[in-house]
Structure 1
């Protein structure tokens, strides 16, 4: 830490408002880990297309992250970038695009995420081909696995290695596979690969729709992980964005308390959310952390932080402090 230039810069310059909260949240994250705690990170939005793997992968390797909840989009888009990075197109003037400009991108099979276009053939179809082999093999064998388990299988098979276009050390999913990290992917069926899977079920390529496990079973697995881990470690919650990636896992505590009568289960021991959602009536993603006390998710003493800013800027800076950069 003595020679951590990024950390020193942030502590010197980030003194007020959201900037100060960023530093305080990062230091509390470090303190939580140093006290023996574990941390769940949740990924909403398009963090993988924003290449958060550049810092998140190292967080995973250094065991600063112990579980991840993410959208299906973040799970797959990290691998899209892994195998098709050179085919991506950046659109610096994306705010100026007309409807006809967007149609021309569609005609070229380029799917835009803000300033970045994901190439369908080199990214999406390449991953689909590898996943389909695993889905069909499991279907024929009568096996049922979670979406991330199929992704781990594909990575370990080496099928995608000839197509790698970035250093795999910059892929957070590769790092997660190497660590056997628990991943929970609520709502996977609304992702590109989830849509592909539905199509293959409709066409009859896959006979048993339950070959890929989803939703309720993910919550059951999460409950088992939380119950077991919380016996020896306080578990923190670092939420990037809003939506189902965060809403789903944070509910595991009140589910265990209220629906299963497990009063012995501790609440989350740390909470931080990076949010660009305006605090408003009825907005869960924009709700201040204290509201979660009333739902039995956080305690009065839980360290709580809300950083209202762009997650693609904030998350790497928080991770830099946690990593001692």
Structure 2
């Protein structure tokens, strides 16, 4: 690799075995994958935006180390919420000691807890809601339809939220992605807070469900994108956590190969997952990479890594390594 900053030098000096060694190997393979002119998909599960992954991930986007993202609706919106309401977030370091009454008191104060971090409902959601509704409504009146992430791109690029910014905007991965018009797929967006809000407007008759493009349309978009961008090299798959953010996009390859009978479709050409899930009880999130070979997702020769650790610790370290920090 090229430049090596102090974080990278520390990792090279100390990360010699076990998960730490896998982290280095996977990072080196990621760097080689990009250097070879191949493209990378990054999937975000969990609450990585609330964990402020944007502090490193935004730079990954700016430096073209990721070409497409798959994320949950929560990660999509929570990066924007952190951008506009960061000063109103509250940390609860003793979250393991909270009683049900303590939790109720947080709810009464409008604080929705994610592990040790409380998202301020009023400041976060309501600062966005008024403006996003106008964008939804304007699209509907023009007979236009967009994906969930495209509506948020319009919101961010309009500049209307700048009055609320409470962090350095360079630490917002969504803002970095919007400026590049980076493709994103957001499977299951409906279970997010903005998804619930959109549904409420539809129930009240103020919006039509058809204004929002669907998950099936995300899949057909991804199929076209993969076909156009994989060439004969394939696309890399870097998975943070498990769940639908990873399960949804990875199956586009067997769909193209088996269901559409495009037998020249290349497999995913790199795979790395950061997860602390196990394979017990049939966990998809904990499935080891070799299992994906049987589903027609990975080739026997695809570089495959699994780092069994906490993504909130590992992902920023890997991004730092890839960026040469």
**Equivalence for 2:324:** 324
For 1:122-137, list aligned pairs within 5 A. Answer: 122-137=123-138
Instruction: Note the C-alpha offset of 1:234.
Output: 3.1
Aligned to 1:218: 218
Q: State the match for 1:184 in structure 2.
A: 185
1:77 match: 78
Query: What SS does the aligned partner of 2:160 have?
Result: coil
Instruction: Tell me which residue corresponds to 2:15.
Output: 14
1:291 aligns with 2:302: no
Q: Alpha-carbon deviation of 1:233?
A: 4.7
Aligned to 1:312: 312
Q: How far does residue 212 in structure 1 lie from its aligned partner after superposition?
A: 0.7
Q: CA deviation at 1:78?
A: 0.1
Distance 1:149 1:267 in 2: 28
* Alpha-carbon displacement from aligned partner over 1:149-201 (angstroms, at most 9, x marks no partner): 00000011111010000011100000000111000000000000000000000
- Report if the CA contact (8 A) 1:55-1:316 is conserved: yes
Q: Is the 8 A contact 1:71 1:186 kept in 2?
A: yes
1:202 match:
203
Query: 1:279 Cα shift?
Result: 2.5
Offset, 1:218: 0.1
- 1:3 Cα deviation from its structure 2 partner: 4.5
2: distance between equivalents of 1:82 and 1:179?
Answer: 18
Cα distance in structure 2, aligned partners of 1:2 and 1:135: 44
Q: Name 2:112's counterpart in structure 1.
A: 111
Q: How many aligned positions are there?
A: 324
Unaligned segments of structure 2, at least 5 residues: none
- CA distance in 1 between counterparts of 2:4 and 2:158 reads 40
Does residue 121 of structure 1 match 2:122? yes
| C-alpha displacement of 1:12 | 1.1
Aligned partners of 1:272, 1:234: CA distance in 2, in Å?
15
2:246 is matched with: 246
Question: Displacement, 1:281?
Answer: 3.7
1:251-274 CA distance string (max 9 Å, x none): 000000010000011000000000
Q: Structure 1 residue 214: deviation in Å?
A: 1.7
CA distance in 2, matches of 1:251, 1:282: 17
CA distance in structure 2 between the aligned counterparts of 1:254 and 1:78, rounded to whole angstroms: 31
- Measure, in 1, the Cα distance between the counterparts of 2:279 and 2:128: 38
TM-score by length of 2: 0.98
1:148 matched to which residue of 2?
Answer: 149
Matched position secondary structure for 2:282: coil
Runs of 4+ with deviation above 3 angstroms:
none
Aligned-CA RMSD value:
0.9
State the TM-score, normalizing by the size of structure 1: 0.98
Q: Which residue number corresponds to residue 56 of structure 2?
A: 55
| Cα gap change, 1:73 to 1:2, in 2 (>3 Å) | closer
> Retained in 2: the 8 A contact 1:82–1:166?
yes
Q: Is the 8 A contact 1:36 1:234 kept in 2?
A: no
Matches within 5 A, 1:88-107: 88-107=89-108
SS in 2 for 1:231: coil
> Within 1, Cα distance between the matches of 2:3 and 2:178?
32
